[in-house]
Amino acid sequence: MDQANNTGGALQGIRVIDLSRVLGGPYCTQVLGDHGAEIVKIEPPQGDEVRDWGPPFHEADAAYFIGVNRNKRSMGLDLSTSAGRELLLELLADADVLLENYKPGAMEKWGLGYEDVLKARFPRLVHCRISGFGADGPLGGFPGYDAIVQAMAGWFSVNGEAGGSPTRSGIAMVDMGTGLYAAIAILMALQERSRSGLGQYIDMTLYDCAVSLMHPHVVNYNLSGKVPVATGNAHPNISPYDTFRTRTVDIFIGAGNNRAFERLCGEIGAPDLAGDPRFGSNADRVAHRAELKVELETHLVRLDGEALCERLLVAGLPAGPIHDTGQVVAHPHTRHRQMDLQKDWYRMTGIPIKFSRTPGSLRYLPPEYGRHSRELLAEAGLDPEQIDRLIADGIVLEARRR
């Protein structure tokens, strides 16, 4: 399957007007676009700010922007003007989905609120809003950013080395997780619309998604009353499930049950450990985690880590060497799974969802700002004179306003 050349896709025929910026919303629409949805990325006059979040850059756009904005066409539009808002309403006439991440109340202030305007005018429209905390409640209306929400939703407290300072996750998983939840929600709403004929409003927040992803820490706390703490690379509920030193490289081993633990002990030449009463059950191993790690590493430090991981995998035991980003990109399995997607200058992560009949594809490289403004307006039925006037008046833009 050549992801760079396939056409169509599972979502072919779905049209999405994407007003979102930064990460969560754009990641959501890239997932939809990878599978055939038509994504119209409408950017404010200054553009999506992550175009500037570099280095590194390709020409004028940062890698941060490039990584989450393929399979989209871009239009610059000034929604602070009444003409810009009217034009957006025209573009929504044949849209299935509107996605935006403006501060709650902004769309309503502009006369574009779902309940007041969009629901009646476009009854089949699915309107998804991503915000930090929602419009109401104790934190309603406040801005939300990935790291801030990680901190507030408890992620910092369970991340990092045991006894160390609270630590941010190195991946913006609140934003990206919210983007994935939003994609799922949009697809659910479209499926329900196929039965009812009606769209609906989707209220997605970073906070809700971050709390929902706090597994198993929230459920552990609810059942035990003990506040979870950081455990480094060790799992709070399973042992051994941690990083271990070998003679050559650090590796990660996970043995989630007694049978797997016994097999691990045999593979590393330490069968007696499986009969040690300190390590008789998973609960025992969790209670004696530090002692178990010392015992295992006594044997592991004599072994070649890469070769051991291959042997453990063949034996059906989860294990792997700790790779850096360069090693991941160069790994033959990354390429085998088509997760190193390349076309012309573009080289990014591939499409993780693999369909047998309707595979995803790369149809559009990440767009330059406003590159498709004229094309999209012409498709909307505007004549060349109308398009020229909108651009001359600064309502529609082909270049960022600095």
* Best CA proximity match to 110, nearest among 132, 78, 139, 64: 78
pLDDT digits (tens, 9 = 90+) for 290-323: 999 999 999 999 999 999 999 999 999 999 999 9
Question: At 94, phi and psi to the nearest 5?
Answer: -115, 25
Query: Do the domain assignments include residue 137?
Result: yes
Residue 6 in this model has a pLDDT that exceeds 80: no
Both tokens of 3, joined, read 């992801």
Shared-domain flag, residues 298 and 356: no
Residue 368 in this model has a pLDDT that exceeds 70: yes
Query: Do the domain assignments include residue 246?
Result: no
Q: What residue numbers bound the domain in which 280 lies?
A: 251-321
Shared-domain flag, residues 348 and 307: no
Query: Do the domain assignments include residue 49?
Result: yes
Query: Do the domain assignments include residue 301?
Result: yes
Catalytic residue flag (residue 78): no
Shared-domain flag, residues 177 and 314: no
Final residue belonging to a domain, choices 321, 349, 366? 321
Least confident of 5-9, 70-74, 240-244, 389-393: 5-9
Shared-domain flag, residues 63 and 95: yes
Cα(278)–Cα(280) distance, integer angstroms: 6
Shared-domain flag, residues 90 and 180: yes
Shared-domain flag, residues 351 and 314: no
The share of the chain scoring above pLDDT 70, in percent, equals: 98
Global pTM value? 0.93
Instruction: Show Cβ contacts of residue 326 under 8 Å, excluding neighbours closer than 6 positions.
Output: none
Residue 2 in this model has a pLDDT that exceeds 50: no
Shared-domain flag, residues 312 and 364: no
With contact defined as beta carbons under 8 Å apart, do 44 and 399 qualify?
no
Residue 30 in this model has a pLDDT that exceeds 80: yes
Residue 1 in this model has a pLDDT that exceeds 60: no
Shared-domain flag, residues 345 and 292: no
Q: Give the confidence band of 339 by pLDDT, cuts at 50, 70, 90.
A: very high
Taking residues 213-234, what's their average pLDDT?
Answer: 95
96: left (phi over 0), alpha (psi -120 to 50) or beta: alpha
Tell me the pLDDT of the chain averaged across its residues: 95
Q: Give the confidence band of 7 by pLDDT, cuts at 50, 70, 90.
A: low
Residue 116 in this model has a pLDDT that exceeds 70: yes
Final residue belonging to a domain, choices 321, 349, 371? 321
Query: Do the domain assignments include residue 221?
Result: no
Taking residues 225-247, what's their average pLDDT?
Answer: 94
Both tokens of 122, joined, read 């476009």
CA 74-79-81 angle, 5° bins: 135
Query: Do the domain assignments include residue 245?
Result: no
Predicted pLDDT of residue 8: 87
Q: Give the confidence band of 256 by pLDDT, cuts at 50, 70, 90.
A: confident
Q: What is the CATH number for 290?
A: 3.30.1540.10
Shared-domain flag, residues 317 and 350: no
Predicted pLDDT of residue 235: 92
Q: Crossing angle of helices 24-34/173-196, nearest 10°?
A: 50
Taking residues 148-164, what's their average pLDDT?
Answer: 95
Query: Do the domain assignments include residue 167?
Result: yes
Shared-domain flag, residues 304 and 360: no
Start-to-end Cα distance in the chain: 42
Predicted pLDDT of residue 402: 86
With contact defined as beta carbons under 8 Å apart, do 364 and 70 qualify?
yes
Alpha carbon dihedral 241, 178, 16, 372, in 10-degree steps, equals: -90
- Structure-token match 């369909």, residue found: 355
Cα(376)–Cα(187) distance, integer angstroms: 24
Taking residues 367-382, what's their average pLDDT?
Answer: 96
Query: Do the domain assignments include residue 223?
Result: no
Which residue out of 175, 250, 284, 344 is catalytically annotated? 175
Q: What is the CATH number for 118?
A: 3.40.50.10540
With helix as H, strand as E and coil as C, how does the chain read? CCCCCCCCCCCCCCEEEECCCCCHHHHHHHHHHHCCCEEEEEECCCCCHHHHCCCCEECCEEHHHHCCCCCCEEEEECCCCHHHHHHHHHHHHHCCEEEECCCCCHHHHCCCCHHHHHHHHCCCCEEEEEECCCCCCCCCCCCCCHHHHHHHCCCHHHCCCCCCCCCCCCCCHHHHHHHHHHHHHHHHHHHHHHHHCCCCEEEEEHHHHHHHCCCCHHHHHHHHCCCCCCCCCCCCCCCCEEEECCCCCCEEEECCCHHHHHHHHHHCCCHHHHHCHHHCCHHHHHHCHHHHHHHHHHHHCCCCHHHHHHHHHHCCCCEEECCCHHHHHHCHHHHHCCCEEEECCEEEECCCCCCCCCCCCCCCCCCCCCCCHHHHHHHCCCCHHHHHHHHHCCCEECCCCC
Shared-domain flag, residues 31 and 123: yes
Q: Domains in the chain: how many in total?
A: 2
With contact defined as beta carbons under 8 Å apart, do 276 and 261 qualify?
no
Final residue belonging to a domain, choices 321, 353, 370? 321
Shared-domain flag, residues 33 and 176: yes
